[in-house]
Chains A and B, each alone.
Chain A
Amino acid sequence: MTIAAGIGYALLALGPSLSLFVSVISKKPFLILTVLSSTLLWLISLIVLSGLWRGFLPLNSTTWWPYGLLLFTSIAFQEGLRLLFWRVYRRLEDLLDAFADKVSKPRLFMTDKMQISLAGGLGHGVAHAVFFCLSLLTPAFGPATFFVDRCSQIPFFLVSAIIALAFVTIHTFSMVIAFNGYAEGNKMDQLFVPVVHLAAGLVTLVNFASGGCIVSIPLLYFIAILTLIYCGKMVWRRLTEHQSTQGNS
């Protein structure tokens, strides 16, 4: 029974990304490599951040502003890293195109590019879920559960799994939005991503209030769904544009 609970928490956090992985990513080895490298990048960012903050830990758990500062710096750092990731990807894309020319294969389709960005985002999301939810799950396989004082209605593992799911969604699809925004030079898209990330991070600050998780989780899911819809609309627009240009030419 306890094993079932532990697996249930893990699947709650990672189920959607697992199905995404199996259905889209796993058929294309290059995308798997992209997922792995983006996960590694996220892990490195986490290690660097924790190295920076190590001197100040443990934070005083009665005041909220140090945590706000921590979240802000972390998100700023990770958004900077996203720019770096984009640069690297840009070079890789050129190389892939050059290689495709060489073997007389078609160049990267637009859907291919989107899949690469999806894989990159999935890597970030999975890394988040793995380190913030899955790695804390070990006690959940045992015969007890754990409640946090500030959110005494739901077990801690369940809360963290739910929050992790929201963040996986946000990370995965905001990468698609960001890459598209960079490629098109669309300022709106470029701004949307850090804002969403920051908003989602700050919403978790609400958890600091006693019983705050009842408010913050719906808010978080609102943000996640917003990201999803935005991404869907953008992809749809790109696809229809693409088709119409193809039809004309």
Chain B
Amino acid sequence: MESSILESIGVEIIGVMSPVSICMFLVVLLVYSLSPSNPFSSPSVPIRTAANLVYLETPSDSATQKLEGSLLNALVFVILIAVVTFLLVVLYYYNFTNFLKNYMRFSAFFVLATMGGSIFLSIIQHFSIPVDSITCFLLLFNFTVVGVLSVFSGGIPIILRQAYMVSLGIIVATWFTKLPEWTTWALLVALAVYDLVAVLAPGGPLKLLVELASSRDDELPALVYEARPVVSRSRGSNLGLLVGGVSDSGSVELQAVNESENHRPTTNEGESFPLVSHSRERHSFSSESSEHSTVVVSCDRVQNREPEIVVDEEMSPLVEMMGLGNEREQQTRRDNVEVRGGGGGSDRGIKLGLGDFVFYSVLVGRAAMYDLMTVYACYLAIISGLGCTLILLSVCHRALPALPISIALGVVFYFLTRLLMEPFVVGTATNLMMF
């Protein structure tokens, strides 16, 4: 029996959604399991980071004070990020690529070693795991070194790289959840707005960066999650070079590249700014020629040792359908897609920046401090926002910010759930009324 199209539609969307889900799930778990220990330790030492330079929130302040303070904090943070991004653009413009890469490696090392280390320490303390310091140090060191190697070097299996991207996201997000409540919300909203401006407005730093990178046909010097298919999923594949393929029709390459994590050692806080960018390389194979299975072996620019097998799956069709549902539109779109040679150093699959991972998880983690119900609501909202962004991405063919839709939905759902739904559900469920 021939396989139905159900198995091939939406693979790419799931490929992006599943790591995001894993990241959020682990952050929630961390926040949940570590929070009982916090009431004793953390309130006395509020952490001072770049995100609350101006105003240090204390629970006793009045609402207006908190609001003003958190808005100021968010403003300062966004300005900082904007400055750093412009700096990045300037450095990239003058071809300091190696410097940037090394800086990224350094910051990855720092994040994994210090912030990750302190999280591991608190896990060890909380569950009282019997580990001696030397073993712990060795393990941490190995973990960190492999992580740093996997960020920009070749020869590392993509799955490991993806795993490290997710764990970087988890670590930074867990740190961000330690920010006070009002500041977190203001920060999230401000970042979503900043993301929107930076990616879409003419002259926005992220837009410049992405255009620069695509004009040079180069890799962005940033920490980016690549949702490339890791293994051939189709039947009849023999490990190596051949993939019994899924046919391929006008599958559009969308790259949502995201921006880096920018670490500031002095403040002991990694700030990452999200950006999603542009479809650098679009590939399409006309649907006429697509009866046969297509095997694309991408000669990756990172020159992996093992040949990377990339199966093209249909993602855009679903997207087209859901987005427009319009035959004519589909046709024109297909015509518009540029066909560039399949050979060049292109990578395939959607890319999502680490910043998006981080801030999605921060939202969910903040929701986890209130109740489980808000966690589920926020998770669903964020995932559906991500889905909408991906659909828009295939419609618009350009760099899109991944934060605004998701964060807006997430925040709205959080407050709706908290204010409206919780009394309703608790009221009915504790009377054992259900429907």
B318 at the interface (CB under 8 A from A): yes
- CB under 8 Å from chain B, chain A span 174-214: 197, 200-201, 204-205, 207-208, 213
List residues of chain A with CB within 8 A of the CB of B3: 105
- A128 contacts B by Cβ under 8 Å: yes
* Residue from A28, A36, A112, A132 in contact with B434 in the complex, judged by beta carbons closer than 8 Å: A132
Which single member of B13, B322, B372, B420 contacts A138 (CB below 8 Å)? Answer: B372
| A100 engages B424 (CB within 8 Å) | no
User: What 1/0 flags go to B393-432 for Cβ under 8 Å of A?
Assistant: 0000000000000000000010011001101111111111
Q: State whether the Cβ of B270 lies closer than 8 Å to any Cβ in chain A.
A: no
Contact partners of A32 in chain B: CB under 8 A: 10, 14
Enumerate chain B residues within 8 angstroms of A96, measured Cβ to Cβ: 5, 9, 321
Q: Does B239 contact A (CB under 8 A)?
A: no
Q: Is the C-beta of B268 less than 8 angstroms from some C-beta in chain A? A: no
**Bound CA span A151–B431, Å:** 10
Known contacts A36-B384, A103-B290, A150-B432; is-contact A57 B424 (Cβ 8 Å): yes
CB–CB A91/B325 < 8 A: yes
Interface residues on B, range: 35 or more
Does A224 touch B at the CB level, under 8 Å? no
Q: Is A37 within 8 A of B4, CB to CB?
A: no
Q: A200: shortest Cβ distance to chain B, in Å? A: 7
Contact B6 A31 (CB under 8 A): yes
Q: Is A102 in contact with B287, judged by CB distance below 8 angstroms?
A: yes
Give the number of chain A interface residues (Cβ < 8 Å).
74
A207-B321 Cα distance, complex, nearest whole Å = 46
Do residues B425 and A132 form an inter-chain contact, with CB atoms below 8 A?
yes
Q: Which residues of chain B from 96 to 141 have any CB-CB distance to chain A below 8 Å in the complex?
A: none
Task: Return B364 CB to nearest CB of chain A, in Å.
Answer: 14
For residue A174, give the distance in angstroms from its CB to the closest CB of chain B.
Answer: 12
- In whole angstroms, how far apart are the Cα atoms of A116 and B4 in the complex? 12
Q: Would you list which residues of chain A between 95 and 112 have a CB under 8 Å from chain B?
A: 95-96, 98-100, 102-106, 108-109, 112
Interface pair A135/B7, CB less than 8 Å apart: no
From 216 to 267 in chain B, residues with beta carbon under 8 angstroms from any chain A beta carbon are: 247, 249
**A104 contact from B4, B291, B314, B433, Cβ within 8 A:** B291
Cβ-defined contact, A159 with B424, below 8 A: no
* Distance (whole angstroms) from the CB of B411 to the closest CB of chain A: 14
B306 contacts A by Cβ under 8 Å: no
In the complex, are the beta carbons of B416 and A47 less than 8 A apart?
yes
Q: Are A135 and B372 CB-contacts (below 8 A) given A100-B5, A108-B6?
A: yes
Does A58 have its Cβ within 8 Å of any Cβ on chain B?
Answer: yes
Q: Are B423 and A29 in contact (CB under 8 A)?
A: no
Chain B residue numbers with a CB within 8 Å of A58 are 423, 427
User: Which residues on B sit within 8 Å (CB–CB) of A51?
Assistant: 416, 420
Over the window 46-66 of chain A, the binary record of Cβ atoms lying under 8 Å from chain B Cβ atoms (1 yes, 0 no) is: 110111011001110100000
Report Cα–Cα, A40/B372, bound state, in Å: 16
Cβ contact within 8 Å between A160 and B432: yes
Interface stretch of the complex, out of B47-55, B190-198, B351-359, B373-381: B373-381
Q: Which residues of A contact B413 (CB under 8 A)?
A: 43, 47
Give the residue among A39, A116, A135 with the most B Cβ atoms within 10 A.
A135
A residues in contact with B431, CB < 8 Å = 61, 67, 148, 150, 207-208
Q: Is the CB of A74 within 8 A of B435?
A: yes
* Whole-angstrom distance between the Cβ of A112 and the nearest chain B Cβ: 5
Per-position 1/0 for B324-362, Cβ under 8 A of A: 010100000000000000000000000000000000000
Q: Which residues of A contact B421 (CB under 8 A)?
A: 46-47, 50, 131
A57 pairs with B427, CB closer than 8 A = yes
The answer to whether B434 touches A40 (Cβ under 8 A) is no
Give the distance in Å from the alpha carbon of A70 to the alpha carbon of B434 in the complex. 10
Residues in chain A near residue B314, CB distance under 8 A: 99, 103
Q: Mark B139-151, 1 if CB is under 8 A from A, else 0.
A: 0000000000000
A203's nearest neighbour on chain B, judged by CB, is B434
Binary CB contact string for chain B from 1 to 27 against chain A (1 if under 8 A, 0 otherwise): 011111101110110000000000000
Return chain B residues, CB-CB under 8 Å to A71.
Answer: 433, 435
Chain B residue numbers with a CB within 8 Å of A78 are: 435
* Partner pick for B384 among A40, A47, A207, CB 8 A cutoff: A40
Residue B383 at the A interface, CB < 8 A?
A: yes
- Residue in A98, A103, A136, A208 whose CB lies within 8 Å of B247: A103
Q: Which residues on the B side are within 8 Å of A112 (C-beta)?
A: 4, 6
Give every chain A residue within 8 A of B423 (Cβ-Cβ): 50, 54, 57-58
- Quick check: A207 and B291 within 8 Å, CB to CB? no
Distance from A219 Cβ to chain B, minimum over Cβ atoms (Å): 13
Within 8 A of B (CB), among A10-59: 27-33, 36-37, 39-40, 43, 46-47, 49-51, 53-54, 57-59
Complex Cα spacing A159 to B291, Å? 54
Q: Which residues of B contact A151 (CB under 8 A)?
A: 432
A223 within 8 A of B: no
Whole-angstrom distance between the Cβ of A207 and the nearest chain B Cβ: 4
By beta carbon, the residue of chain A nearest B15 is A29
> Complex: how many Å from CA A109 to CA B431?
44
CA distance A43 to B433 in the complex (A): 17
Q: Is A95 in contact with B321, judged by CB distance below 8 angstroms?
A: yes
Chain B residues within 8 Å of A159, by CB: 432
**Docked complex Cα distance between A14 and B339 (Å):** 47
Query: A54 — which chain B residues lie within 8 A by C-beta?
Result: 420, 423-424
A156 in contact (CB, < 8 A): yes
Q: Which 8 A-B pairs have the closest CB atoms?
A: A50-B424, A135-B373, A207-B432, A29-B10, A201-B435, A29-B14, A95-B321, A30-B9
User: Which B positions have Cβ atoms within 8 angstroms of A?
Assistant: 2-7, 9-11, 13-14, 247, 249, 287, 290-291, 314, 317-318, 321-322, 325, 327, 371-373, 376-377, 380-381, 383-384, 387, 413, 416-417, 420-421, 423-435
Q: 6 additional contacts, CB 8 Å, given A95-B325, A132-B428, A207-B433? A: A33-B13, A51-B420, A92-B322, A105-B3, A105-B4, A201-B434
Can you list 6 A-B contacts with CB-CB less than 8 angstroms, sorted by A residue number?
Answer: A50-B423, A54-B420, A112-B6, A138-B372, A160-B434, A164-B434
